[in-house]
């Protein structure tokens, strides 16, 4: 491998793919989810891939980053980080949701660093003939477990932009159990997460109870996305105590979670109040959250995720992974880094079962017994299906969505919906 | 590069090299310093190098580690770490000095992990054609600055085992200034550290004052190696306030340093009270030390050192590097990792000027303007001079020293010396 290889070109392709009418605290998923596909090309003709957020402000951030990355060696990760930390400026127009840390403009530099780091690691791996996990110290496991990520959902989108998905409505406990059965039959997952914060806590607890009865011994999680007050979260904790492996972001804010932590023996998990290294620092001072749900897309990359994992080990915190609607490149990147983390203590979240499209060659990534095999091919181990990429880019151009906005979408169903939290 | 490359053999060669009659809080350096040279061989005939402590208990630790490393891929750093953490058991016979964290048996696993990690990174770099720094995210600087590391010293060793060195006696302020002039003329250093904790604080402060007058504007440090009480350290701080860039380990223990921190505006530095990740955690809770002097040999390797650096950045601590008597392999390993750390805020310590032998091909590593150029050749960028290695191994066999023991050596000069601390 020549040390003279340089990044010569960066191609950013926004894509849109079908997404289910999935309910959450902020509203409901729009019919099209956005991502950006990064192609980082080198002077010797290799292409490194990454996948990140595809909203308009993020595309502008990636454009800001582009000139600072062109000309670098794919090995110059530290220099890339320093340059982007210095160069990335706020971009107007971001629609920020507390439940989606990837939407926060304050994380722009970390998000851009992550995207370019993944693509550069893909290039490094291709150049040296090693999978990305080897560049992170090597795999400590040969497969990475994911959980069945259940959502309350409607049977179809407002306005029926395309044929309804095969999952049907998911509102009653029976429907939620049926959703879990279907997802586990298809993917083999061995733990279950329910995205809550949508209906009355009483209803959501009943759904957890139904899941517990239907899937004896299966680890369960509930994520009300900070849509419950501290008082509601405390009351619910008494009922959830024996049912959950962890209790994810029931109430808002680090102080609220710290208060709740003093009143429950359930470990509290978060992807909302510990989303940066600085918040990690405050959390260990306040002793609030016990399980950190990492996400390389906004934590600053795969190396930052490994850094976070070592800090979790040091402060005796559990660790797993958060997800947003995503495609196969993100899934393999998550799998590489998860394989390099000895103290990954829970199955990772993924929205992947909710998508039925992809832009990787060979079609959608396979799961076996709820897990993804750690790729052993050089780099990330995936290539682009250019026809699929063109199709999803056309969908992006046609769909008209430029910022994810779950609240606005919910108002199509219910004009009185405000999205104000905590709702319960 | 084939993914099937495996570690086939580990060769451990203890060496001894001439070391000056350098005084410190524990006593005086013996005439021979010990190191172990690791050669980790792969099935395709490459040799990865590392250098670490060479005392008898450390050799036994490396022997314990050996069978857990043979058979691994050089990329399997995480697996190697997990295995050695589980496998390394206490080894009797360690002579532990608080001033030399590398002598602590509790650090056996971290020390072994570090040694094998450096050798495996050397192998990785050779295999992929990239310098080790590129495997740590790439260089953010092209050279690494070191400081002039001054010692109080006698003109010659007890019993005159070989011809005295060219440095002469270093006790009076004038002699210390002369030592600094000579070292700076030879190496070009642009900052100065004085190892203290030897004489009355009044004398050591006078030496710092003489250095300050002789080298106007040159950053100065004093390291009494915890040989001063908290009360003495407080009184001395008042005099040192305008003279030092940092005040290194004047008094013992994290609580002592925390107490001192509340009484001086000098940043406190340490390689004694923050020597593990767990101690880092306690230090940030106690807000004691402001500058961490890392040392990859006992912190668990180059990746752990980068981890530590990111934690220092997060908790707004300064960072530099500690050293022991060492040879060229350690110096280049320090240089690679230092080049990958953006927030390395001070010139690193090195004992290298006190040695006149080496086991690397081409002879001793060059300094320019007090800095070592970051190697750009694949791997660590150094090879063994097998003739020199054999000579230093013969010296090891002949010298009879198997555990560094500065106190016992001092008792040859002064039978009443107890080494009890804090002395002042």
Active-site position among B153, B322, B336, B351: B322
Please write the tens of the pLDDT for every residue from B53-103.
999 999 999 999 999 999 999 999 999 999 999 999 877 777 788 778 888
Asked if residue A229 belongs to a domain, the reply is: yes
The model's confidence at residue B21, banded by pLDDT at 50, 70 and 90, is very high
Task: Count Cβ neighbours within 10 Å for each residue of B273-282 and write b for 16 or more, e otherwise.
Answer: bbbbbebbbe
Q: Is A121 on the interface with B (CB under 8 A)?
A: no
Asked if residue B250 belongs to a domain, the reply is: yes
Do both B314 and B391 map to the same domain? no
Do both B200 and B158 map to the same domain? yes
Sign (positive/negative) of CA torsion A312, A119, A323, A216? negative
Do both B297 and B172 map to the same domain? yes
Please write the tens of the pLDDT for every residue from A209-240.
999 999 999 999 999 999 999 999 999 999 99
Of B160 and A93, more confident: B160
Do both A310 and A357 map to the same domain? yes
pTM metric for this prediction: 0.95
Asked if residue A236 belongs to a domain, the reply is: yes
Backbone angles phi, psi at B82, to 5 degrees: -60, -45
Please write the tens of the pLDDT for every residue from A4-17.
899 999 999 999 99
> In the structure encoding, which two tokens stand for residue B69, read together?
């490393």
A327, A353, A354, A331: which is closest to A20 by C-alpha? A354
Cβ–Cβ contacts within 10 Å for residue B386, how many? Answer: 10
Measured CA to CA, the distance from residue B88 to residue B91 in angstroms comes to: 9
Per-residue pLDDT at A97: 79
CB contact under 8 A, A78 and B277: no
Chain B residue numbers with beta carbons less than 8 Å from the beta carbon of A310 are: 277, 307
Q: Is the pLDDT of residue A1 over 70?
A: no
B219 upstream amide cis, omega within 30 of 0: no
> In the structure encoding, which two tokens stand for residue A7, read together?
């990044």
Per-residue pLDDT at B355: 95
Do both A180 and A125 map to the same domain? no
The model's confidence at residue A370, banded by pLDDT at 50, 70 and 90, is very high
Do both A127 and A139 map to the same domain? no
Q: Are strands A47-53 and A32-42 parallel, antiparallel or unpaired?
A: antiparallel
**Cβ pair A40, A120 in contact under 8 A:** yes
Chain B residue numbers with beta carbons less than 8 Å from the beta carbon of A81 are: 137, 342
**Cβ pair B314, A276 in contact under 8 A:** no
**Cβ pair A244, A208 in contact under 8 A:** yes
Q: Is B77 on the interface with A (CB under 8 A)?
A: yes
The model's confidence at residue B148, banded by pLDDT at 50, 70 and 90, is very high
Per-residue pLDDT at A91: 78
Q: Is the pLDDT of residue A118 over 60?
A: yes
3-class secondary structure, A194: strand
Question: Chain-wide mean pLDDT for chain B?
Answer: 96
User: In terms of C-beta density within 10 A (0-12 exposed, 13-18 middle, 19 or more buried), how is residue B262 classed?
Assistant: exposed
ipTM over 0.95: no
Asked if residue A53 belongs to a domain, the reply is: yes
> In the structure encoding, which two tokens stand for residue B154, read together?
């006698």
Per-residue pLDDT at A2: 63
Sheet with B220-223, edge to edge strand ranges: B148-151, B192-195, B220-223, B246-248, B268-270, B291-294, B318-321
Measured CA to CA, the distance from residue B252 to residue B268 in angstroms comes to: 12
> Residue B145: enclosing H or E segment and its boundaries?
strand B143-145
Measured CA to CA, the distance from residue B22 to residue B28 in angstroms comes to: 5
Of A280 and A89, more confident: A280
Per-residue pLDDT at A92: 77
Measured CA to CA, the distance from residue B45 to residue B364 in angstroms comes to: 26
A422 upstream amide cis, omega within 30 of 0: yes
Asked if residue B296 belongs to a domain, the reply is: yes
Q: Is A127 on the interface with B (CB under 8 A)?
A: yes
Do both A265 and A315 map to the same domain? yes
Q: Which domain holds residue B64?
A: 7-132+386-398
| Rounded alpha-carbon distances, angstroms, from residue A256 to A226, B341, B360 | 10, 36, 58
The model's confidence at residue B2, banded by pLDDT at 50, 70 and 90, is low
Give the HSE-up count for residue B216: Cα atoms under 13 Å, Cβ half-sphere: 0
Per-residue pLDDT at B100: 83
**Cβ pair A294, A101 in contact under 8 A:** no
DSSP B127: H
Per-residue pLDDT at B1: 57
Q: Report the Cα A1 to chain-centroid distance in Å.
A: 34
Do both B265 and B313 map to the same domain? yes
Q: Is the pLDDT of residue B374 over 70?
A: yes
Instruction: Point out the residue among B76, B281, B314 whose CB comes nearest to the CB of A138.
Output: B76
| Rounded alpha-carbon distances, angstroms, from residue A28 to A15, A152, A165, A198, A414 | 20, 10, 15, 10, 11
Question: Chain-wide mean pLDDT for chain A?
Answer: 96
Q: What's the CA dihedral at B127, B133, B135, B137 to 10 degrees?
A: -150
Per-residue pLDDT at B103: 86
- Indicate which CATH number applies to the domain containing A42: 3.30.390.10
Mutate to test the interface with B, among A78, A81, A82, A282 (most CBs of B within 10 A): A78
- Write the DSSP string, A131-180: BHHHHTT--SSSEEEB-EEEE-B-SS-TT--S---TT--B-SHHHHHHHH
Do both B330 and B274 map to the same domain? yes
User: In terms of C-beta density within 10 A (0-12 exposed, 13-18 middle, 19 or more buried), how is residue B135 classed?
Assistant: buried
Q: Is the pLDDT of residue B395 over 90?
A: yes
Q: Is the pLDDT of residue A126 over 80?
A: yes
Per-residue pLDDT at B357: 97
Active-site position among B68, B195, B296, B326: B195
Q: Tally the domains of chain B.
A: 2
Average the pLDDT over A177-194 and give the result. Answer: 98
Least confident range of A82-96, A290-304, B306-320: A82-96
Asked if residue A406 belongs to a domain, the reply is: no
Measured CA to CA, the distance from residue B100 to residue B240 in angstroms comes to: 24
How many residues comprise chain A? 424
User: In terms of C-beta density within 10 A (0-12 exposed, 13-18 middle, 19 or more buried), how is residue B253 classed?
Assistant: middle
- Indicate which CATH number applies to the domain containing B158: 3.20.20.120
3-class secondary structure, A382: coil
Asked if residue A420 belongs to a domain, the reply is: no
Do both A149 and A188 map to the same domain? yes
Do both A67 and A140 map to the same domain? no
Please write the tens of the pLDDT for every residue from B307-349.
999 999 999 999 999 999 999 999 999 999 999 999 998 999 9
> In the structure encoding, which two tokens stand for residue B262, read together?
């509340």
Nearest CA in chain B to A141: B79
Q: Is the pLDDT of residue A105 over 70?
A: yes
Average the pLDDT over A373-385 and give the result. Answer: 98
Do both B262 and B366 map to the same domain? yes
A164, A133, A126: which is closest to A44 by C-alpha? A126
Percent of chain A with pLDDT over 90: 94
Least confident range of A24-33, A95-104, A414-423: A95-104
Asked if residue B349 belongs to a domain, the reply is: yes
Q: Is the pLDDT of residue A307 over 80?
A: yes
Task: Count Cβ neighbours within 10 Å for each residue of B62-98 and write b for 16 or more, e otherwise.
Answer: bebbbebbeebbbbbbbbbbebbeeebeebeebbebb
* B window 365-404, beta carbon within 8 A of A: 376
């Amino acid at each position: 491998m020549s040390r003279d290889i340089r990044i010569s070109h960066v191609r950013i392709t926004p894509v849109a793919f079908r997404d289910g009418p999935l309910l959450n605290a902020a509203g409901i998923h729009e019919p099209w989810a956005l991502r950006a596909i990064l192609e980082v090309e080198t002077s010797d003709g290799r292409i490194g891939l990454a996948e990140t957020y595809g909203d308009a402000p993020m595309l502008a951030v990636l454009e800001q980053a582009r000139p600072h990355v062109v000309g670098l060696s794919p090995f110059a990760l530290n220099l890339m980080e320093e340059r982007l930390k210095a160069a990335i400026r706020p971009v107007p127009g971001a629609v920020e949701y507390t439940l989606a840390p990837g939407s926060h403009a304050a994380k722009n530099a970390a998000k851009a660093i992550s995207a370019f780091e993944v693509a550069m690691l893909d290039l490094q791996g291709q150049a040296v003939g090693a999978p990305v996990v080897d560049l992170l110290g090597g795999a400590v496991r040969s497969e990475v477990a994911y959980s069945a990520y259940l959502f309350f959902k409607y049977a179809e989108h407002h306005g029926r932009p395309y044929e309804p998905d095969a999952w049907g409505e998911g509102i009653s406990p029976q429907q939620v159990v049926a959703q879990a059965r279907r997802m586990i039959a298809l993917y083999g997952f061995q733990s279950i997460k329910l995205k809550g914060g949508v209906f009355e806590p009483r209803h959501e607890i009943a759904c957890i109870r139904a899941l517990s009865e239907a899937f004896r011994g299966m680890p369960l999680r509930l994520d009300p996305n900070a849509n419950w007050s501290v008082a509601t979260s405390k009351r619910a904790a008494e009922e959830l105590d024996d049912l959950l492996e962890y209790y994810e972001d029931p109430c808002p804010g680090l102080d609220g979670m710290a208060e709740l932590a003093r009143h429950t023996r359930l470990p509290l998990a978060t992807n909302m109040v510990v989303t940066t290294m600085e918040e990690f620092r405050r959390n260990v001072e306040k002793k609030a959250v016990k399980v950190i749900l990492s996400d390389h897309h906004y934590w600053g990359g795969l190396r930052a995720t490994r850094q976070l994992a070592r800090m979790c080990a040091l402060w005796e915190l559990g660790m797993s992974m958060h997800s947003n609607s995503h495609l196969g490149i993100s899934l393999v990147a998550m799998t590489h880094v998860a394989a390099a983390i000895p103290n990954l203590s829970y199955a990772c979240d993924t929205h992947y079962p909710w998508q039925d499209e992809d832009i990787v060659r060979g079609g959608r990534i396979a799961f076996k017994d709820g897990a993804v095999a750690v790729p052993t091919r050089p780099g990330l181990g995936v290539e682009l299906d250019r026809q699929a990429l063109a199709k999803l880019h056309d969908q992006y151009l046609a769909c008209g969505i430029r910022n994810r906005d779950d609240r606005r979408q919910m108002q199509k169903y219910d004009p009185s919906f405000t999205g104000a939290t905590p709702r319960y």
